[in-house]
Amino acid sequence: MTSEILDHRPSALAEHEEKALGNAAFGFWIYLMTDCILFAALFSTFVVYSYNYAAGPKGAPSLDLPYTFAETMFLLASSAACGLAIVGAYKDSAMQVLGWLALTFLLGLGFVGMEVHEFLGLVQAGTGPDSSGFLSAFFTLVGTHGTHVAVGLVWMAIMMGQVLGKGLTVAVQSRLMRMSLFWHFLDIVWIGVFTVVYLKGAL
């Protein structure tokens, strides 16, 4: 009887792990859908408040398209590097995963740094979020996205630590995939921000 239990233990553990990973993936997709609703609400608010200038500046504040375009390239390149990290995971190459994740992290950090610099410049110029409804919506939308990117960087650092400590186990690869989806999602949201906030404001 004992030997039969031992024989079935590996398959039972594998089934339990597979179910746990499936539940984690399902929970992640629910979270991602709630984030879609959040950003949809912020985009709608921004569009509504786009013409509420009061005594504040009109149009996109201190719009610098070349600067924002460079910022966008940082995030797009980081998304490509993140995709290559997942390719490395499929190849079971921890070194490739770590290398590409490190590059993704640096590019994402550059993006956040540029956004913080932009915000500080706006505040110092007297065009902070309290200047008008438009600027409140601008700071909220762009700042919420930047906060998500910062959280993604923390998640990425944790995943690099897990790859180093645990290797590319099934659980680690599953977490890597969810982190990658989150990062690509932020990339898509930023394309919307760049188009609606910056390009539209330049017209």
Give the domain CATH number at 123.
1.20.120.80
Query: For 126, left (φ over 0), alpha (ψ -120 to 50), or beta?
Result: left
CB count in 10 Å sphere of residue 63? 14
Query: What is the domain range of residue 157?
Result: 31-50+60-202
**Residue 167 burial by Cβ neighbours in a 10 Å radius (0-12, 13-18, 19+):** exposed
The verdict on residue 176 lying in a domain is yes
Q: Is the pLDDT of residue 53 over 70?
A: no
Considering its fold, how many domains does the chain have in total? 1
**Single pTM value for the model:** 0.86
pLDDT tens, residue by residue, 10-36: 565 556 666 777 777 888 999 999 999
Contact (Cβ atoms closer than 8 angstroms) between residue 32 and residue 111: no
Q: Residues near 81 by Cβ (< 8 Å), separated by ≥ 6?
A: 100, 101, 103, 104, 107
Give the residue with greater pLDDT, 203 vs 37.
Answer: 37
Tell me if 25 is assigned to some domain. no
Residue 71 lies in a domain: yes
Residue 7 counted as domain residue: no
Can you tell me the distance from the alpha carbon of 115 to that of 107, in angstroms, rounded to the nearest whole number? 13
Indicate whether 146 belongs to any domain.
yes
Tens digit of each residue's pLDDT (9 = 90 or more) over 132-160: 788 888 999 999 999 999 999 999 999 99
Residue with tokens 């995030």: 75
Residue 23 lies in a domain: no
The answer to whether residue 172 sits within a structural domain is yes
Say if 2 falls within a structural domain: no
